Structure 1
Amino acid sequence: MSMLKFSKFFAIAFSAALLAASGASAAPAAAAAKPSIVLVHGGFVDGSGWEGVHKILKKDGYNVTIVQNPTTSLADDVAVTKRVIAAQPGPVVLVGHSYGGVVITEAGNDEKVASLVYIAAFAPDKGESVNSLIKDPQPGAPVPPILPPQDGFLLLDKTKFAASFAADLKGETAAFMADSQVPWGVGALGGAVTEPAWKAKPSWYLVAKDDKMIPPPAQRLMSKRAGATVVETPGSHAVYVSRPQAVADLIKQAANKVTVAAK
């Protein structure tokens, strides 16, 4: 190859490399325009139930991380969640289901958290815990089939799990969730919120209208008190599993507000 041809080849190759590099640098910048999504599960389950929501959000270009909180104590669960928040590249939309709502209410005070999304979740005020929120149920409210504590942990009665927690899931799915329950620490139910993040940050709330674990009227009261943007959908307590599109759509509403604010 002559020196002239080699020079032309080098120039073309170098230009192509520059274009590739500029494209590569543009891709993370585009991705950074969207906030990260952090999903927090509740009691009796682990993070695998978020799979459907995760797939939708990932397909739409979001960075998504699922917290595997141990549900042993509120302090432990908040610490695990905050470690995940710290690892995210930018602002975070923090999402909690059920008891996960207590976790995000406390962990959401982290400066990286831009907004909160509650999915059929507890949204406690200062000094409140799961125990204080459930101690005076409304007359006629369904009673979750919680078995007596064993070694400081709680489980749901397997034979009643589907009806109370997952009535709108296929029988084999609900049965698997019942058989794979994660023991919920009694201490976690007593963990009180020190400062509710929803007082300082925008929040969204999905009410599951057929919930037999956290009664829908209680969900409405908590969401109203938090000043949340509320949507309601048919669904059991496992609405995040049975209706992942509805859940993902609400999360994207919250994320879009963060994206607009960042521009």
Structure 2
Amino acid sequence: MPTAPTVVLVHGAFADAASFAAVVPTLLDDGLSVVVPAVPNRSLVGDAAYVASVVRQIEGPVLLVGHSYGGAVITVAGVEENVVGLVYLAGYALTEGESLAELQGRFPDSDLAQALVYRPYPVEGGDDGTDVYVDVAKFPAVFAEGVDPGLARVLAVSQRPLAGAAFGEPASAAAWRTKPSWGLVSAADHTINPEVERFGYSRAGMTVREVESSHLVMLAHPEAVVELVREAVRATSA
């Protein structure tokens, strides 16, 4: 019998592990092992190190699935030896030495640029850091269009912010160079310009699928996400 990889779902900015709630039950029903860690969203270096530590504690092969900023995280963490594949969901596929800001800067801004809110947070022994949120009033249209309005309202006030410093940190590795990769483009994305997604996926030579979806594709179109993860699982099962 083939050994299926453990599926590790990595959330992005302005969301948390619950953003995968619509896909986890189906993956579990498929008999897959699933892990959904809470990413600190403090720095690309630190977040990738944290996810890598989770991966190292899993016996056997791992398939990393990253949404949005989580795509940047798995790009770095995916160099772990037991990672057998990468799946990007409306995500950033950086190359070595490239930051989120640099990749985004090659393309016109999305609606997100005018919807960001900045708030300080304390840093022990240093100056305050800056947390970045999506304006609560703009969150449903910019981030969660197509998601149940009642759920979108809850998500808007329970965001997990991303530290502003993470936008400028360069990726130290690009795991897609050595690991098979899949990318899902959210073609109606107002958070990340879909051209950013297409460019990163094409550069990496990924297997690419597109769905007419907002940024939170896992909640707006969970069936498309599940099918892509299943495809990757089949391809990477030993």
Same fold (TM over 0.5): yes
Q: Does residue 171 of the first structure (1) align with residue 140 of the second (2)? A: no
Q: 1:83-126 CA distances to partner (integer Å, 9 max, x unpaired)?
A: 21112221111000000000000000000100000000000011
User: Do 1:207 and 1:232's aligned partners in 2 also have CA atoms closer than 8 Å?
Assistant: yes
Matches within 5 A, 1:120-199: 120-138=90-108, 141-144=110-113, 145-151=115-121, 152-199=130-177
Residue 96 to residue 218, structure 1, CA distance change in 2 (3 Å):
same
Local SS of the residue matching 1:131: helix
State the distance in 2 between where 1:180 and 1:223 align.
30
Query: Normalized per residue, which structure has more helix?
Result: 1
In the TM superposition, residue 241 of structure 1 has moved relative to its aligned partner by: 1.3
Q: Does residue 55 of the first structure (1) align with residue 25 of the second (2)? A: yes
In the TM superposition, residue 188 of structure 1 has moved relative to its aligned partner by: 1.7
State the distance in 1 between where 2:110 and 2:6 align.
36
Matches within 5 A, 1:245-256: 245-256=223-234
Matches within 5 A, 1:1-263: 33-138=3-108, 141-144=110-113, 145-151=115-121, 152-259=130-237, 262=238
Residue 48 to residue 159, structure 1, CA distance change in 2 (3 Å):
same
In the TM superposition, residue 134 of structure 1 has moved relative to its aligned partner by: 2.0
Query: Normalized per residue, which structure has more strand?
Result: 2
Other-structure match for 1:7: none
Local SS of the residue matching 1:148: strand
Local SS of the residue matching 2:85: strand
User: Do 2:66 and 2:88's aligned partners in 1 also have CA atoms closer than 8 Å?
Assistant: yes
State the distance in 2 between where 1:183 and 1:221 align.
25
State the distance in 2 between where 1:76 and 1:251 align.
26
User: Do 1:95 and 1:104's aligned partners in 2 also have CA atoms closer than 8 Å?
Assistant: yes
State the distance in 2 between where 1:231 and 1:183 align.
28
Local SS of the residue matching 1:52: coil
State the distance in 2 between where 1:86 and 1:154 align.
30
In the TM superposition, residue 150 of structure 1 has moved relative to its aligned partner by: 2.7
Q: 1:179-202 CA distances to partner (integer Å, 9 max, x unpaired)?
A: 001121112222211120001111
Residue identity (%) = 38
State the distance in 1 between where 2:55 and 2:40 align.
16
State the distance in 2 between where 1:178 and 1:136 align.
28
Q: 1:32-84 CA distances to partner (integer Å, 9 max, x unpaired)?
A: 71111000000011111111111111000100000111100112211221121
Structure 1: which 5+ runs fail to align? 1-29
User: Do 2:118 and 2:132's aligned partners in 1 also have CA atoms closer than 8 Å?
Assistant: yes
Local SS of the residue matching 2:117: coil
State the distance in 2 between where 1:247 and 1:49 align.
12
State the distance in 2 between where 1:88 and 1:51 align.
21
Local SS of the residue matching 2:201: helix
State the distance in 1 between where 2:161 and 2:10 align.
16
User: Do 2:186 and 2:210's aligned partners in 1 also have CA atoms closer than 8 Å?
Assistant: yes
User: Do 2:63 and 2:83's aligned partners in 1 also have CA atoms closer than 8 Å?
Assistant: yes
State the distance in 2 between where 1:225 and 1:104 align.
16
In the TM superposition, residue 224 of structure 1 has moved relative to its aligned partner by: 0.4
Give me the CA root mean square deviation: 1.4
- Normalising by structure 2, we get a TM-score of 0.92
User: Do 1:86 and 1:112's aligned partners in 2 also have CA atoms closer than 8 Å?
Assistant: yes
In the TM superposition, residue 137 of structure 1 has moved relative to its aligned partner by: 3.1
Q: 1:145-171 CA distances to partner (integer Å, 9 max, x unpaired)?
A: 111343311111001001100011111
State the distance in 2 between where 1:61 and 1:148 align.
42
- Normalising by structure 1, we get a TM-score of 0.84
